[in-house]
Structure 1
Amino acid sequence: MTELAVHTTAIPGLLVIDLPLPGDDRGWFKENWQREKMVAAGLPDFGPVQNNISYNQAVGVTRGIHAEPWDKYVSVATGRVFGAWVDLREGDSFGATHWHEIGPGTAVFVPRGVGNAFQTLEAPAAYTYLVNDHWSAAAQSQYTFLSLADETAAIPWPIPLADAELSAKDRAHPRLAEVTPVPPRRTLVVGGGGQLGRALAALWESRADVDVVTRAQLDIAEALSVDAFDFSPYGTIVNAAAHTAVDAAETPEGRQEAWAVNAAGVGRLVEAARTQRATLVHVSSDYVFDGTAEVHTEDEPPSPLGVYGQTKASGDQLVAMLPDHYLVRTSWVVGEGANFVDTMAGLAERGIDPSVVDDQIGRITLAEDLAAAIDHLLTARPAPGTYNITNDGEPLSWAQIAAEVFALTGHDPARITPVSTATYYAGKDGIAPRPARSVLDLAKITATGFTPREQLAALRAHLRPSALAGID
């Protein structure tokens, strides 16, 4: 008996599957789709939601070539067909072909955007296919077609098309030179008004397949806003939105807002990603830890001290339930917008000598480096899961970073007065607890091939060139 086996083809993602057919004199039995076994054998966990059957009662019936906006898994219950596929997706493999005879013991996984066709060789033929989206007239309008007789594809139909039975529509499909390639699924950046959102927008400015939305366009804290948003074009969702007002989160109003954005809002994005089979990139925080560990690894259980950290930890747990996700944990982000580094540079310029805490230890993260790391994850595609991402280098206190800012902008670093957290916040109400150590282990992201910049080099690059004039 044939063993279950998965074979690759010249078309990326198009897979041919050998199916076992145990049987006796009475007939045979097959597991046409068996998720656990087939995913283990190498098939994508594509989540079928609809099963269709095309019944073909005569030899020579020929259908296609149709590229559809979903993945599908095709096989034959009775009869035998000649299957043919042409890659109609945008990219280097556009126009690549594969053909294969399909009987009950063979199945083929056809990724979105690959044109599918078949010709009946033995009738009646029950051609069955599972798809991972529901058919609709709107979805059908997104089909891409190719002529069955296209000379470039040069499909060797066993029964000449002149002798085959084709529909009028299938006869009228365009040649390959006239086909507009199927574009890749788009990328959505949520929270485009924040430091990371702006950095991603700048990094991906030249890409036509990226949409960056602000809270005015999509407010994940509001169910009606999320329900009204069309996520269907997106294969990747990057969540750069968060409620980050740490102290405000300790107030009654701020607590509600933090939970609405960082937990409930994240849950809505998780469900949107699940429905669209999209990759979700979500940004987490060092505040999910209590800061007692010298270095925090990706495997450390959450132990948040305050409301902000609790809401972020809650959102993290929701994201982790999605199979295709990257949970990016970071700390001390510095980018375009209000941030600690630019505040210190402004104080130095105005002659103000600040007191800065010296018992909170960590590393800064330039927003542009965080964006670059996210781009790397989506390009390299390491295993889904949690990845710590900050700049590298010797961990420093906030006071040490402030002193570096003063020195790099031509001011005396001795103007910084180091103080303890307790002293700094003495007599102030509504202050959220902070983790004492926010150092994140970077071994996992480094192992994927991404090397974070050293934080002082990144700091120097961030500060305005004019502020660094004359500084060696």
Structure 2
Amino acid sequence: MADLSVRQTEIPGLLVVDLPVHGDNRGWFKENWQQAKMTELGLPDFGPVQQNISFNDEVGVTRGIHAEPWDKFVSVATGRIFGAWVDLREGESHGRVVTVEMGPERAVFVPRGVGNAYQTLAPGTAYAYLVNDHWSPEAKARHTFVQLGDPALGIAWPIPLHEAILSDADKAHPVLAESRPALPRRTLVLGAGGQLGTALQAALPSAVALSRAEADLAKPETLEAIEWRDVDAIVNAAAYTAVDLAETPEGRREAWATNVTGVGRLVEIARRHRLPLVHVSSDYVFDGTVPEHREDEPFSPLGVYGQTKAAGDALVATWEKHYVVRTSWVVGEGKNFVATMAMLADKGVCPAVVDDQFGRLSFTEDLAAGIVHLLASGAEYGTYNLTNGGPVQSWADIAADVFELRGRSRDDVTRVSTEEYGAGRTMAPRPRHSSLSLAKIEATGHRPRDVAYRMRTLVE
């Protein structure tokens, strides 16, 4: 009896599973699907929701080649088959073929977009498969097919196809050169209209990017309209970020509707479709009383905005496949603090800038790079701080750096306290210390660029 094992094939993601079969004078028993053991050996935890069985009376029944918009775990309950799989996804492996002879002692995990076919080698063969989406007429319209006997595939069927039992539909499938490639899953970016969303589109050019007008966390109908079966990961860069307005009655309601209720809906969608969820958070979940914040520091928000972000983070953490990316002092394309200081420097203005709030800037290009790293590297799920590197500075220090880069004196920036700056203004409380420890994300192999480097490229 073979040990349980999972092995790769020449088709990326197509896995062969050897199953222990326990037999005695009564027959045999096997664990056909065992989530804990199989995922530990490398099989994806693909979340099956439906099981189908195809019973075949005669030897030579041949079915396929079909690629459906879901993953499959195929096995044989009784009998024996010759199985053939063809990669119908776009890319380097398109058209690649893998064949395996199977009985009850073997199973195959078939990723979405890989065509599945088999031929029975014994009478009374029962072919079973688990899938991670429910069949529907809409789903059927998205199937991709290729002809069983296409010479370009070179499949050596044990029973020649002219002697086999085929359906008329399977006989009519196109050859590989004329078949349409299977639709790939793509990363979905929410909040595409914002500064980080813009940077994420550049970092993830194949992603589907939706603006607030297209997908509003506060409007559930816009989320339900998304074709989630075509998504392989969610990056949520959408949020209510009007820190001061959040302290008003109307702003408070809007902040909670987007940052908490809307995020809760997104978590449930991610859970339902078993999608990794990247959620962008903020230093405002802390009160800023310690010089540097670690990922495991308890929440202690000062204002409404911080309270809603903390509540959203807690909801996201209830889903196993999550990355909470906590950042601070974001600078991206368009209006931002650095660009404003550069403009004031060029105009000869001498601004008053707060000098008793401390942190590090987070340039959106580098934030996007860190998010891509987490998704691509398979880093352990959880919360990660992500800002640019370099020394901790005050806002006034940063303004002085910009002035110096623009040829002005650092002394042209007047340093004031938060209390002085806020006199006569309606302002939400700010954390005094916003610096975030970067040790955890650096341990995954990602080292954010230094603030000084990014400042020079942006200002000079």
Is the shorter-chain TM-score for this pair beyond 0.5, marking a shared fold? yes
Aligned to 1:2: 2
Q: Which runs of 5+ in 2 are unaligned?
A: none
Aligned to 1:69: 69
Distance 1:45 1:292 in 2: 41
Distance 2:25 2:13 in 1: 37
Question: Pairwise mapping of residues 175-194 of structure 1 onto structure 2 (< 5 A)?
Answer: 175-194=175-194
Whether contact under 8 Å (1:288, 1:312) holds in the other structure is yes
C-alpha offsets along residues 416-445 of structure 1, whole Å, 9 cap, x if unaligned? 22222233334544x322222111122333
Question: Pairwise mapping of residues 31-430 of structure 1 onto structure 2 (< 5 A)?
Answer: 31-204=31-204, 207=205, 209-426=206-423, 428-429=425-426
Question: Which has the higher mean CA deviation after the structures are superposed, 391-400 or 328-337?
Answer: 328-337
The one-letter code matched in structure 2 to 1:218 is A
Aligned to 1:434: 430
Distance 2:10 2:224 in 1: 40
The answer to whether 1:448 aligns with 2:444 is yes
The one-letter code matched in structure 2 to 1:399 is A
Distance 1:167 1:196 in 2: 52
Shift of 1:261: 1.0
Distance 2:93 2:441 in 1: 30
The one-letter code matched in structure 2 to 1:390 is T
What's the RMSD between the two structures over aligned residues? 1.9
DSSP-derived class of the 2:295 partner: coil
Distance 2:125 2:170 in 1: 19
C-alpha offsets along residues 82-111 of structure 1, whole Å, 9 cap, x if unaligned? 111111111112122211122112111111
Aligned to 1:22: 22
Shift of 1:232: 3.3
Distance 1:234 1:346 in 2: 41
Distance 1:42 1:58 in 2: 35
Shift of 1:302: 2.4
Question: Which has the higher mean CA deviation after the structures are superposed, 351-360 or 58-67?
Answer: 351-360
The one-letter code matched in structure 2 to 1:353 is C
Distance 1:355 1:376 in 2: 38
Shift of 1:164: 0.9
Whether contact under 8 Å (1:289, 1:309) holds in the other structure is yes
> How many equivalent residue pairs?
460
The one-letter code matched in structure 1 to 2:182 is V
Question: Which has the higher mean CA deviation after the structures are superposed, 83-92 or 129-138?
Answer: 83-92
DSSP-derived class of the 2:266 partner: helix
Whether contact under 8 Å (1:189, 1:197) holds in the other structure is yes
Question: Which has the higher mean CA deviation after the structures are superposed, 57-66 or 219-228?
Answer: 219-228
Distance 2:220 2:4 in 1: 44
TM-score normalised to structure 1 length? 0.92
Q: Which runs of 5+ in 1 are unaligned?
A: none
DSSP-derived class of the 2:80 partner: strand
DSSP-derived class of the 1:312 partner: helix
The answer to whether 1:459 aligns with 2:429 is no
C-alpha offsets along residues 310-349 of structure 1, whole Å, 9 cap, x if unaligned? 1111111222223333221111001123322222233334
- 4+ runs of 1 displaced by more than 6 Å? none
The one-letter code matched in structure 2 to 1:461 is T
C-alpha offsets along residues 25-51 of structure 1, whole Å, 9 cap, x if unaligned? 112222221222222222111000111
Distance 1:160 1:293 in 2: 74
Whether contact under 8 Å (1:360, 1:435) holds in the other structure is yes
Whether contact under 8 Å (1:235, 1:276) holds in the other structure is no
The one-letter code matched in structure 2 to 1:388 is N
DSSP-derived class of the 1:356 partner: strand
DSSP-derived class of the 2:341 partner: helix
Shift of 1:279: 2.7
TM-score normalised to structure 2 length? 0.95
Q: Quick one: percent identity of the two aligned structures?
A: 62
Shift of 1:113: 0.6
Shift of 1:193: 1.5
Shift of 1:10: 1.2
Whether contact under 8 Å (2:72, 2:130) holds in the other structure is yes
Whether contact under 8 Å (2:184, 2:230) holds in the other structure is no
DSSP-derived class of the 2:30 partner: coil
